[in-house]
Amino acid sequence: MFSITTSTPEETLNIAKCFGKHIEASTLVLFYGDLGAGKTLFTQGIGNSLGIKRMKSPSFIIASEYEDTTPPLLHIDLYRISTQREIDSLEIDNYLRDGFAVCVEWSENWKELPKDHIKIEIKKISESTRQIVFSAFGQKHEKILSNIKEDLANDYAIN
Ligand code: ADP
Ligand code: MG
């Protein structure tokens, strides 16, 4: 587990772009944090690093699929979803099996989580300060996150 504190949205976006370079097929990234923490912004940074120019905020559409990138990306927002049945109907497992990287906002609403994932918790410290806490579960995701940490350590103060 490690954390980075940012003081501007641009800084968070740059960290997300660096993070995104390490994303592989079937990587699951679960976001936690309040409204306005920066979950969508971070996901957009990941998308940008894969070559997606404009990403929608999925809040009203629940799931957005980007198929033309390597790996393809699924962006999910569970804000309006709470039952396991609704979550099951999104078939996230199938996307992961098909090689999609999957970013999930409002993971607080997902109780029966897959064991293997990277967790990103974004805490609002002030209007423009965020503490971003990274942790990984399962060998594959631990390896990816340790590479990300090494890369980020070149440019940012890591705690
Ligand atoms: P969420 O998806 O978590 O609800 P968004 O990514 O949509 O949040 O919005 C985050 C908001 O916080 C944006 O308006 C962004 O400009 C603002 N912001 C201010 N400071 C930061 C920072 N250090 N990191 C990320 N976002 C920040
Ligand atoms: Mg959001």
Predicted confidence at residue 60, as pLDDT, reads: 73
Of the candidates 52, 56, 79, the residue with the CA atom closest to the CA atom of residue 67? 52
In DSSP notation, 75-133 reads EEE-TT---HHHHHHT-HHHHHHTT-EEEEE-GGG--S--SSEEEEEEEE-SSS-EEEE
Predicted confidence at residue 116, as pLDDT, reads: 98
What pLDDT digit, counting tens, does each position of 116-133 carry?
999 999 999 999 999 999
3 pLDDT exceeds 90? yes
Instruction: Give the residue, by CA position, lying nearest to ligand 1 atom 6.
Output: 38
Residue-wise burial string across 79-106, b where 16 or more C-beta atoms lie within 10 A, e elsewhere = bebeeeeebeebebeebbeeebbbbbbb
Instruction: Give the residue, by CA position, lying nearest to ligand 1 atom 21.
Output: 9
Give the span between the Cα atoms of 152 and 131, in whole angstroms. Answer: 15
Q: What is the pTM of this model?
A: 0.97
Of the candidates 155, 125, 122, the residue with the CA atom closest to the CA atom of residue 21? 155
Q: C-alpha angle with apex 132: 87 to 30, nearest 5 degrees?
A: 15
135 pLDDT exceeds 80? yes
Of the candidates 16, 10, 8, 7, the residue with the CA atom closest to the CA atom of residue 151? 16
140 pLDDT exceeds 90? yes
Ligand 2 is an ion; its neighbours by CB within 5 Å are 39-40, 105
The minimum-distance atom of ligand 1 relative to the CA of 6 is: 23
What residue type is 108 in one-letter code? Answer: E
What pLDDT digit, counting tens, does each position of 80-98 carry?
998 999 999 999 999 999 9
What pLDDT digit, counting tens, does each position of 9-63 carry?
999 999 999 999 999 999 999 999 999 999 999 999 999 999 998 887 766 789 9
Instruction: Give the residue, by CA position, lying nearest to ligand 1 atom 25.
Output: 9
33 lines ligand 1 (CB under 6 A): yes
Distance, CA 34 to ligand 2 centroid (Å)?
9
